[in-house]
Structure 1
Amino acid sequence: MNDFGRHDLLRALSPRGWWRLRPVDRAWVSALRAMVGANIVLVAVVIAGHTELAPAAAFGGMTAVHARFEPYPVRARVLAVIGAGLTVAVGLGGMASAAGWGPLPVAILVAAVAAAAKLFTDGIRSGPPGGLMFVFAAGTTSAFPVSWPGVAAQVGAAAAGAVVACAVALSGWLFFDHDRTRTTSWRDGLRAALHRSSHEWPRALKVFAAVLAAGLLAHALGLGHPYWATVAAAAILQATHLQHTMHRFLQRVSGTIAGVLVAALLLTLDLPQPVRLVLIVVALLGAELTVIRNYAVAMVFVTPLVLLLGSLSAPVDTVTVTTDRLVDTVLGALIGLVAALVRPGRGYQLA
C-alpha cells in the first residue's frame, strides 16, 4: 500500500458533508420490525421482575437490527449466525465477570471480540451495524457482577431475545419479498476474509488495538464505564474508509452530546419503570429510522436508550452517568480515529 499524500489526507479528514441526510427506502417497515423484535424479551424479563437480565435480553434482541434490507433467504442465514454470535458475546462477558477477571484480561477479551466480530461481519457482508453490538454485549456484561448461575441466565435471556428477534424479522417471509436475485454466498465471503492474504486481517487487528487501548486508558483514567470507550472506538472503525471514519467520528461525538442532554432530562424526571420501558422502545424506533440517514441523529436516540436501559436494574446518578457517557465516548472515538490514521491505505476512500 502506498502512503497517503498530504492532499489525500486533507480530503479524507474534511468534515464536509457529515451532516447530510441520506435517502432510505422502506425505513419504516424495517424500523418497526427491528423495534418489535428487539424489545419483546426485554419487556418480558422486566415485567417478570428480572431487571438484571434486561441488558442480556436487549443484546440478544439486537439481532433484529441486522440484515434489515436483505431478501428473506439471505436474512435468515445472516440473522442465525448474528444471533448465535451475540449470545456467545454475552456469555463471554458474563464469564469474565463471574471469574473475577481484572481490567487487563477483560480489555483483551473485549478487544478480541471486537476484532473477531469485525472480521466475521465484514466477511459475510452483514451490513450495519457490523460488529459493534458484539463489542457492546461483551463489554457491558463483563462490567457488572454476576454469579455463575447468573451467567447461565444471561445466556438464556440473550438466546431467547435472539430467537424472538429472528422470528419477527422473518415473519413476513410467507407473504412478502421472494426476491432471490441479491442472494450472496456468505460462506465464500467468510473464507476470503479468513485467508491469510486477506485485507480484512489488518482491519481486524486495527480494531483489536484500538479497542484494547480505549479500554485500558479509560480504566487508567478512572472513568466510570470503560466499556463505553471500547464501544466508541469500535464504532468509529466500522466505517468503510478514512473519509467515512472522519464523518463517523464527528457524528458520534456530536450526536452523543445532544443525546446526553436528552438523557439527563429524562433521568432527572425519575420516571416510573413502565414509562422508561416505553421510552426505550420508542428510542430504538427512532434510532432505526435515522441510523442509515445520519449517524449523528441516531446517536441522539441511542444515548438515552443506553442510559435508560442501565437505569432499569439500579438507580443511577444523573450527573455521573451522563458525564461518563460523554467522556468515555469522546475518548474512545479519538482513539478510533487515531487508529484509522495508521497506514490508512492507497486512497482517501480506502480503510
Structure 2
Amino acid sequence: MQSTIVNTIKAFFELKKSKRSRHIPFLASFCVGIPLFYGWYFDALAMGLQASLGGLVILYYQPNAPFRKRMVTMLVSSLGFVLSLGVGLGFSFNPYVSAVVLGFFAMGIHLTTSYFKIKPPGNFFFIMIASMASCQSYAVELIHNKIGFLFLGTMLACFLALCHGLLWNKKSLTTETFTTQVKKRKFVSLIDSIVIGICISISLILGHILEMQNPYWIPISCLAILQGISKQHVWERMIHRIVGTFIGIGICWLILLVCTTPLSICISIFVLQYLVEVLIVKNYALAIIFITPMTILLAEIGSSFTANTEIMVSARFLDITIGSVIGFMGGWLIYNQRFKNEATHHLRKVNIFIRKSRKS
C-alpha cells in the first residue's frame, strides 16, 4: 500500500517524453477556437459550441501515418462524430431510454475501435458526444441544425489537417508500417465492451436519478477512468482525475471571476485547449487540471452560469467524483483475470450452444 501511494504521487509530477508532433496542440486549439470565435462574432455561441465539438476530431489525426491514411482516418472519424450526435439526440426523448441506448452504443463503439485498434483517444470522444447529446432537450426540428454545425466543425478540422499534411508531408513520414490489425481474442474484447456499456449506462441513469443538472458529466468521467490499461493505471487515473478536478475547478472559479465576457471565455478555452494537448501525452494528472476548466467552460458557455458560479463548480466536482468511482469499479472488473476467465468460459459455452442450434 505504501509503495502504491508513493508511485501514485510520483506519477502525478512525472513528465514523460513524447514524440508527438508539436503542431498538434496548435491544430487542436484552432479547430476548437475558430468556431467559437465565429459564434461570438455572429452572436451565435450555441452554434459555435456545436461546431467546436466537431473540431475535436482533429485529435484522431495521425501526423506520422501516410498521407492517405491520415485523411481517411479523419473522414471516417468525422462520420463517427455525426453518428454519435445523431444517436444521442434521436433517443433523448426519454432519459432512461437514452441511458440504455447509450450503453449499447458504447459497447458497439468500443468493439469497433478495438477491432481496428484505433489509437488514443479511441472510443472516448464518440461516446462523450453521444452522452452530451442524450441529455439535451428533445426537439426534432433542431436535430438537423445541430448535426449540421457539428459536421461543419469536423470539416474545418479535416481542412486544417489537409493543409498540415500538404505542408509537412515529407517531414512527417516515417518508415513505420501502418496496418489495420484485428484483435484475435474476440471474447475478451466483447467482455470489455459489455462492462464499459453497463458502466456508462448505469452512470447516466444514476445522474438522472440524482437529478443532476448536467448528468452527462458522470458517464464522461467514468469513461475517462475506463481508458486505463491496467489495474494500477485505472487506480492512478481515478486518483489523478479527482485531485486534478479539485485543482482544475479552483482554476475554473478564478477564470470565471476574471473573464466576464463571452470573448474572454472563448480566448480562455483556446489557451486551455493548447495546454491540454501539450500535457496530455506527458502527464495525465497535470492535463486534467486544465481539462476540467476547459470542459466546464465549453459545456456552460451558452448558459447563464456566471450567476451561480459556486453552485455550478460544486456540482461538477460531485459529478466527476461519482463517475470516477464507477469507472474505477468497471476498470477493476476489466482487469480482474478471474472475472475474465469465468466470463470467457460462459461466452464460449453460449457460442457452442448457438452453433449446435443452427446445425440442428
**TM-score if structure 1 supplies the norm length?**
0.86
User: Does 2:104 correspond to 1:112?
Assistant: yes
Q: How does 1:177-256 map to 2 (within 5 A)?
A: 177-178=169-170, 179=173, 181-186=175-180, 189=181, 192-193=182-183, 197-256=186-245
Contact 2:35 2:49 in 1 (8 A): no
One-letter amino acid of the structure 1 residue matched with residue 313 of structure 2: T
Provide the aligned length of Structure 1 versus Structure 2: 331
By how many angstroms is 1:74 displaced? 2.7
Q: Which residue of 1 aligns with 2:289?
A: 300
Q: Residue 117 of structure 2: which of 125, 128, 152 is its match?
A: 125
Alpha-carbon distance between aligned partners in 2 of 1:225 and 1:106, rounded to the nearest angstrom:
14
More helix by share: 2
Q: Which residue of 2 aligns with 1:262?
A: 251
Please say which of residues 107-116 and 278-287 is displaced more in the overlay.
107-116
Write out per-residue CA displacement over residues 16-38 of structure 1, whole angstroms, 9 at most, x where no aligned residue: 64312111134532111221123
User: Does 2:36 correspond to 1:42?
Assistant: yes
By how many angstroms is 1:270 displaced? 5.4
User: Does 2:152 correspond to 1:152?
Assistant: no
One-letter amino acid of the structure 2 residue matched with residue 285 of structure 1: Y
Alpha-carbon distance between aligned partners in 2 of 1:149 and 1:40, rounded to the nearest angstrom:
26
Q: SS in structure 1 opposite 2:122?
A: coil
User: Does 2:4 correspond to 1:15?
Assistant: no
Write out per-residue CA displacement over residues 171-195 of structure 1, whole angstroms, 9 at most, x where no aligned residue: 1222323426334233xx3xx34x7
Write out per-residue CA displacement over residues 227-280 of structure 1, whole angstroms, 9 at most, x where no aligned residue: 100001111111222222112112211111111111112223451111111111
Contact 1:14 1:246 in 2 (8 A): no
Gaps (5+ residues) in structure 1?
1-6
By how many angstroms is 1:51 displaced? 2.2
By how many angstroms is 1:335 displaced? 0.6
Q: Which residue of 1 aligns with 2:129?
A: 137
By how many angstroms is 1:89 displaced? 1.1
Q: Which residue of 1 aligns with 2:318?
A: 327
Please say which of residues 169-178 and 75-84 is displaced more in the overlay.
169-178
By how many angstroms is 1:14 displaced? 6.4
Alpha-carbon distance between aligned partners in 2 of 1:256 and 1:326, rounded to the nearest angstrom:
7
By how many angstroms is 1:336 displaced? 0.8
Q: Residue 309 of structure 1: which of 298, 318, 330 is its match?
A: 298
Q: SS in structure 1 opposite 2:166?
A: coil
Alpha-carbon distance between aligned partners in 2 of 1:345 and 1:294, rounded to the nearest angstrom:
26
Q: Which residue of 2 aligns with 1:83?
A: 78
One-letter amino acid of the structure 1 residue matched with residue 122 of structure 2: G
Contact 1:113 1:134 in 2 (8 A): no
By how many angstroms is 1:53 displaced? 2.2
One-letter amino acid of the structure 1 residue matched with residue 79 of structure 2: A
By how many angstroms is 1:339 displaced? 1.2
State the superposition RMSD in angstroms: 2.5
Q: SS in structure 2 opposite 1:125?
A: coil
User: Does 2:271 correspond to 1:282?
Assistant: yes
Q: Which residue of 2 aligns with 1:271?
A: 260
Q: Which residue of 1 aligns with 2:26?
A: 32
Write out per-residue CA displacement over residues 108-164 of structure 1, whole angstroms, 9 at most, x where no aligned residue: 122223222222223333322221111221121222225223111110111111111
Q: SS in structure 2 opposite 1:171?
A: helix
Contact 1:57 1:160 in 2 (8 A): yes
By how many angstroms is 1:68 displaced? 4.3
Contact 1:38 1:63 in 2 (8 A): no
Larger radius of gyration: 2
User: Does 2:47 correspond to 1:58?
Assistant: no
Q: 1:156 to 1:198 in 2, by over 3 A?
A: same
Alpha-carbon distance between aligned partners in 2 of 1:12 and 1:115, rounded to the nearest angstrom:
33
Please say which of residues 33-42 and 13-22 is displaced more in the overlay.
13-22
Alpha-carbon distance between aligned partners in 2 of 1:297 and 1:291, rounded to the nearest angstrom:
8
After superposing on structure 2, the runs of 4+ consecutive aligned residues of structure 1 that deviate more than 6 Å are 10-14
Please say which of residues 287-296 and 218-227 is displaced more in the overlay.
218-227
Gaps (5+ residues) in structure 2?
339-360
One-letter amino acid of the structure 2 residue matched with residue 208 of structure 1: G
Q: Which residue of 2 aligns with 1:4?
A: none
Q: Which residue of 2 aligns with 1:67?
A: 61
**TM-score if structure 2 supplies the norm length?**
0.84
One-letter amino acid of the structure 2 residue matched with residue 330 of structure 1: T
Q: 1:160 to 1:268 in 2, by over 3 A?
A: same
Percent of aligned positions that are identical: 22
